[in-house]
Amino acid sequence: MDADGWLAIHEAAHRLGMHSNATLLYGHVEKYWHRIDHMERLRQLQDKTGGFNTFIPLKFRNKDNDMSYVEESSVIEDMKMYAVSRLYLDNFPHIKSYWPMLGRQNAQLSLSFGVNDIDGTIDDTTKIYSMAGSEEQSPAMNTAQLVTLIKQVNRQPVERGTLYNEIRDYSNIELAEIESNPMLN
């Protein structure tokens, strides 16, 4: 399906009251103008419908695939992608960092570059990213680890549902209490 078809499907879903997310695989063969074109199309649809919850830049990883010869983007390039996304897509309520692709430390860093959501306690789907060369060889994180990661960079961790409804605010809970709570591990 081409971009126009994808956008038409999401517009129809938004008109029916459904929300969706948008992604951009970056750091492989695209140029900067491709990224901006991609975000401009999303921005225009968001202006029309308001149906996107989040934008998720996805870092290209080059291990064990037909494009293994393509050099991966640097951490600086990754942070630029997040910062530009936040500025350009100011009509998106959330910019998400997918920590299994970036690594835990770089996901923490992204919180200072416009990200306000780190994808959380992840299941087996992240094996794909491990096989593609993710910095996370064992991509799983429990709630206590995720809350700790966020608190270490002085941000406020809040557990949320799929539609960004608040489930639990962890901002006023001490790290020691989080780490000792078996319900969070």
Q: How many angstroms separate the Cα of 179 from the Cα of each of 78, 130, 142?
A: 30, 26, 10
Cα–Cα distance measured from residue 55 to residue 53, given in angstroms and rounded to the nearest whole number: 7
Residue 64 lies in a domain: yes
For residue 70, give its domain range: 3-141
The count of structural domains within the chain is: 1
Residue 157 lies in a domain: no
CATH at 136:
3.40.50
Average pLDDT over residues 133-150: 74
pTM score, whole prediction: 0.86
Residue 162 lies in a domain: no
Sign of the Cα pseudo-torsion (141, 145, 151, 157, in order): positive
pLDDT at position 29, please? 87
Residue 85 lies in a domain: yes
Residue 130 lies in a domain: yes
Average pLDDT over residues 160-185: 81
Query: 25 by DSSP, 3-state: which?
Result: strand
Torsion angle (degrees, nearest 10) of CA 120, 121, 126, 130: 90
Consecutive H or E run containing 57? strand 52-59
